[in-house]
Structure 1
Amino acid sequence: MIEILFNPFEDRTDRDVRNLLGSAFICALHKGDQAPVAQAVSDLGRKKLPAPAQSYIKARCDRYAAVLAQMSSNSLLGADIYATAGLLWDESLFFECHEWLEQNYRAVQGQEKKVLQAMIRTAGTFELLTYNRDKAAVSVAAKALAVLEPHFSQVPESFNIQPKIARLKNVVKTGC
């Protein structure tokens, strides 16, 4: 028997689930309230989703609740986009981290914009690795490294970029 896994890169329904939940969660981060996620889950509950999608939703909701709980106990987190991104990263919410940083990309300029784009690519690399998309991950990691290595000091400490750079280097070196 072949086990079917959740994969937003190969299944449209899975991609729609990931995107809807991710968008709802970004909204929840801004509001500091789980309500947008609850609404998305309710909307998804009306559909006959396969078991892997249902498991994904449950796991994501658990991680979202953990992030929102940490943010509510530390009101400074939401004000620091990089600390919030780090918190998302720590919960392995790479897609959501990518989305969170991307929102802020449009508001910055110059070198900061290039560094933020590299951070977005870093999150994208880890999202790709999550779904065994190694070739694409290597390509995106190389682009991120080209900016992050010479400019790592411009990444705020709250994002803790050094371990991520080390992992990116390993991805490029080993091909996964």
Structure 2
Amino acid sequence: MIDSERFDPFNNRLCRNVRNALSENFKKVLEQQRMQPVRRVAGFFRNDPLPPCVRTYIDQRLAAYEQVLADVRNRELDHPLDIAVAIWDQHLFFETHEYLEQYWMAAHGGEKKLLQAIIRAAGAYVHLEQGNLTGARRIAAKAVAVLEVHQDQLSPYADPRLLLAKLRSLDPKPPMLAGTAGSANRSMRTIDRP
């Protein structure tokens, strides 16, 4: 049985299944530019009685996905790092990780390292959300080590100093990344779509 007060995908199969199914279909939302894939999945889970924390999680995720999709459309975002920042700023850290993973797998060199560092930064916040300071500290340290070296590659998309400071301190309040960097030199426009 699930503790109805806490959504915990690390220790509860239903929570993990809901998180993973929504996240996987959120990538389809971004590809198709429509909410139908996640609405279908949400409807599937809502057909059964759900603990309040699971129902709330689904509702909050759908609202956040709507915000990301609106942001992508309104700002005409098409670069993977711009989209990842929009996802991050809705506090969708697991989804940030899932979205960037496809690009990380196809990348090489410094680009690959930067994407992995952002994925790890998102992972640190996933752990912080669950109160796992040990896991967050370990993953944040790995992200910081790479972000320090690749700050210039991140700076067109987000302020790396802000992200580094938050990760170093394990600040439970994540930084907002959109609008914290200059939009002039988009040096990583070469990220290939998988």
Which residue of the partner structure matches residue 106 of structure 1? Answer: 105
Which residue of the partner structure matches residue 9 of structure 1? Answer: 10
- In structure 2, C-alpha distance between the alignment counterparts of 1:67 and 1:157, rounded to whole Å: 20
Structure 1 residues not aligned, in runs of 5+: none
User: Which one-letter code corresponds to 1:155 in the other structure?
Assistant: L
Which residue of the partner structure matches residue 37 of structure 2? Answer: 36
- In structure 2, C-alpha distance between the alignment counterparts of 1:100 and 1:156, rounded to whole Å: 20
- In structure 2, C-alpha distance between the alignment counterparts of 1:93 and 1:29, rounded to whole Å: 14
TM-score by length of 1: 0.90
Q: 1:156 to 1:108 in 2, by over 3 A?
A: farther
Displacement of 1:61 after TM fit? Answer: 0.7
- In structure 1, C-alpha distance between the alignment counterparts of 2:4 and 2:55, rounded to whole Å: 15
Q: 1:162 to 1:137 in 2, by over 3 A?
A: same
- In structure 2, C-alpha distance between the alignment counterparts of 1:93 and 1:166, rounded to whole Å: 20
Which residue of the partner structure matches residue 181 of structure 2? Answer: none
Which residue of the partner structure matches residue 93 of structure 2? Answer: 94
- In structure 2, C-alpha distance between the alignment counterparts of 1:59 and 1:160, rounded to whole Å: 27
Q: How many residues align?
A: 169
Q: Is the 8 A contact 1:82 1:159 kept in 2?
A: no
Which residue of the partner structure matches residue 144 of structure 2? Answer: 145
Q: Is the 8 A contact 2:4 2:53 kept in 1?
A: no
Specify the SS of the correspondent of 2:150.
helix
More helix by share: 1
1:4-83 alignment runs, 5 A limit: 4-75=5-76, 77=77, 79-83=78-82
Q: Is the 8 A contact 1:152 1:161 kept in 2?
A: yes
- The ranges of structure 1 where at least 4 consecutive aligned residues each deviate by more than 3 angstroms after the TM superposition are none
Q: Is the 8 A contact 1:85 1:159 kept in 2?
A: no
Specify the SS of the correspondent of 2:170.
helix
Cα RMSD (Å) of the superposition?
1.6
Which residue of the partner structure matches residue 183 of structure 2? Answer: none
Which residue of the partner structure matches residue 178 of structure 2? Answer: none
Displacement of 1:3 after TM fit? Answer: 6.4
Cα deviation digits, residues 89-143 of structure 1 (max 9, x gap): 1110111011111111111101211111111100100111011111000000111
Structure 2 residues not aligned, in runs of 5+: 172-194
